């Protein structure tokens, strides 16, 4: 499905750690030193430099399960948010401006709702293949255009329901444990969400070790696009900054389909969703920020970008001065 993922230049990262440890100021950087070492590793550089061609890619989806009332938002909110981003507004554009990052909206699957995962397959095999190809193509196009850091984002009512269902199915986690409050739902809506996720997981109980089959049945074309985008970026040796629960679960799946992907990832932030924390841990990542954000749209990850770039710049300056 994906080509072999190469290992980043971990020796470069180790050298940065060693050189920082050799200076008092370098040791004082704390976790920023680890972040800088990761930057050196994924850029194969002896001295970390800030990312100057980062690109946020927000992928919108439309889930029929949202009609069940699993969110604090009405299903129509997806279309409203898509138009908001297209017009240059919304959290994504605001955070991108703060981070000095460009943004791309992908709304190929935002119009017609996909199958309601509690009672029917999310998509046909044809649509699954289209989504896989789209994510791969986006990654290739971005890398070929010179993007040096990809920041995937998600947008869609019902996204955390889908994320919990996929996560629960692939890990054998009980629905009530996998599900959080998503958009800020109350107890009654949470119960509705639990039932929807439980029914979706039940539908795939006989083939939950078949990752593509699980995705086709209970995810969504936008989710598959995210999985392919993350995996192909790793194949192309391009680092990826992960945002919230939906993207984190997609990254978790990408690692299953393209082993080694996790070495090209950094977690921008941590949301309150249970599946987010477990996926980040499984990917051996430590979030840069812990803001309890569930905004989506790559907003949390974008807010972490200045910290990552600051780590690279601080460490780089210290290493250069130490050489002198």
The pLDDT tens digits along the chain (324 residues) read 899 999 999 999 999 999 999 988 889 999 999 999 999 999 999 999 999 999 999 999 999 888 887 777 788 889 999 999 999 999 999 999 999 999 999 999 998 778 899 999 999 999 999 999 999 999 999 999 999 999 999 999 989 899 999 999 999 988 878 777 765 777 777 788 889 999 999 999 999 999 999 999 999 999 999 999 999 999 999 999 999 999 999 999 999 999 999 999 999 999 888 889 999 999 999 999 998 888 899 999 999 999 999 999 999 999 888 775
Task: Round to whole Å and give the CA distance between 139 and 145.
Answer: 10
Task: Round to whole Å and give the CA distance between 134 and 316.
Answer: 36
Characterize 34-57 residue by residue with b for buried, 16 or more Cβ atoms within 10 angstroms of its Cβ, and e for exposed: bbbbbbbbbbebebbbbbeebbbb
- At 210 the pLDDT is 97
- At 187 the pLDDT is 77
- At 186 the pLDDT is 76
Q: Cα-Cα-Cα-Cα dihedral of 180, 114, 151, 305, to 10°?
A: -40
Cα 216 to chain center, whole Å?
Answer: 19
Give the start-to-end residue ranges of the domains of the chain: 54-300
- At 112 the pLDDT is 73
Q: 214 Cβ partners below 8 Å, 6+ apart?
A: 166, 169, 170, 204, 207, 208
- At 179 the pLDDT is 78
Looking at the domain that runs over 54-300, which CATH code has it been given?
A: 3.40.50.10210
The total number of residues shown for the chain amounts to: 324
Give how far Cα 252 sits from Cα of 27, 73, 129, 136, 146, Å. 32, 26, 19, 17, 25
Give how far Cα 60 sits from Cα of 107, 141, 206, 308, Å. 5, 19, 29, 26
């Amino acid at each position: 499905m994906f080509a072999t993922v190469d290992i980043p230049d971990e020796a470069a990262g180790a050298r940065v750690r060693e050189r920082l440890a050799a200076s008092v100021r370098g040791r004082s950087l704390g976790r920023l030193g680890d972040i800088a070492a990761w930057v050196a590793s994924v850029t194969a550089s002896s001295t970390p430099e800030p990312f100057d061609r980062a690109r946020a890619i927000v992928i919108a989806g439309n889930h029929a399960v949202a009609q069940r009332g699993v969110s604090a938002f009405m299903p129509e909110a997806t279309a409203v948010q898509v138009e908001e981003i297209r017009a240059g507004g919304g959290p994504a554009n605001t955070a991108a401006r703060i981070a000095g990052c460009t943004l791309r909206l992908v709304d190929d699957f935002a119009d017609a709702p996909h199958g309601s995962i509690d009672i029917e397959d999310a998509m046909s095999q044809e649509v699954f293949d289209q989504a896989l190809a789209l994510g791969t193509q986006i990654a290739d196009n971005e890398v070929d255009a010179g993007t040096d850091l990809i920041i995937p984002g998600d947008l869609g009512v019902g996204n955390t329901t889908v994320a919990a269902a996929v996560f629960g199915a692939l890990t054998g986690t009980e629905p009530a444990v996998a599900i959080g409050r998503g958009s800020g739902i109350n107890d009654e809506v949470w119960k509705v969400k639990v039932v929807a996720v439980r029914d979706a997981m039940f539908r795939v109980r006989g083939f939950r070790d078949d990752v593509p089959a699980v995705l086709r049945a209970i995810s969504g074309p936008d989710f598959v696009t995210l999985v392919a985008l993350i995996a192909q970026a790793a194949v192309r040796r391009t680092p990826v900054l992960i945002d919230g629960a939906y993207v984190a679960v997609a990254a978790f799946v990408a690692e299953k389909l393209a082993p080694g992907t996790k070495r090209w990832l950094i977690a921008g932030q941590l949301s309150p969703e249970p599946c987010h924390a477990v996926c980040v841990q499984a990917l051996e990542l430590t979030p840069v920020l812990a803001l309890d954000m569930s905004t989506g749209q790559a907003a949390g990850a974008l807010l972490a970008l200045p910290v990552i770039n600051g780590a690279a710049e601080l460490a780089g300056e210290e290493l250069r001065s130490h050489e002198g």
